[in-house]
Amino acid sequence: MTADPSIHAFTLAGAQLMAMGSGALWWPDQALLCVSDLHFGKSERMARRSGATLPPYETRDTLARLADDLERTSPRHVICLGDSFDDLAAAEALPEAERLWLSTLQAGRDWTWIEGNHDAGPIDLGGTHRAQVVLGPLTFRHIAEAGASGEISGHYHPKARVRTRGGSIRRPAFLVDRQRLILPAYGTYTGGLDTGSEPLSGLMQPGAIAILTGPRPAAVPMPRG
């Protein structure tokens, strides 16, 4: 995958990592794929809590993109970095077809659900459930912690706005500095927080970069304005 224009390779704490245009993170040396903030069941939760209706297809769309990334990388390990479900009731309400699809994706893989603030509890959908995972020099958790090193987290759904000849574009982005990596949200109906907003501008060190997602991921200085 190193010659593939749809990935961007970088190093964190000595680990060679690849930001995929889809928003997934690939760690070849560990055959590990990491995604964050899937937010399965968001349309169901919105309808349940407020009566607002969205087309209820976001879970299938997110699963389809995840299936493509799994087929592309053939990982042995998968880490879902928290807020995989919009809440625990959404996990319980997952339709049977989506449950079976997810079970198929999990088959033969070490699958870990990291606890998020939306889904802070065990789920009965296969895999293991943990507060965080430490693997080699890297720590995987949902929310970044001050002073951490070699940390991979999600939660903030970062989006970067950059100027173009035609005006500007705003895309989900990986944020990387010498100490940490924050993943973009992978779920279809997820929003985002501008990189110049607190707490992202406070978490990321001077010199941080934003890797814009899309067909050809591009690394730019992290926008702070």
How confident is the prediction along the chain (225 residues), in pLDDT tens digits per residue?
A: 446 888 999 999 999 999 999 999 999 999 999 999 998 866 565 555 665 555 557 788 899 999 999 999 999 999 999 998 877 777 777 888 999 999 999 999 999 999 988 777 667 888 999 999 999 999 999 999 999 999 999 999 999 998 878 788 899 999 999 999 999 999 887 889 999 999 999 999 999 999 999 999 999 999 997
Pairing status of strand 151-153 against strand 158-164: unpaired
199-222 confidence digits (pLDDT tens) = 999 999 999 999 999 999 999 999
pTM of the model: 0.91
Spatial contact of 18 and 6, defined as CB atoms under 8 Å apart: no
Pairing status of strand 32-35 against strand 25-27: antiparallel
Three-class SS state of 180: strand
- Segments making up each domain of the chain, as ranges: 7-221
CATH fold for domain 7-221: Purple Acid Phosphatase; chain A, domain 2 (3.60.21)
Calpha distance 103→126 (Å, rounded): 7
pLDDT of 34 reads: 98
pLDDT of 48 reads: 53
Q: Which of 46, 71, 67 is nearest to 56 (CA)?
A: 46
Calpha distance 182→185 (Å, rounded): 10
Calpha distance 26→88 (Å, rounded): 27
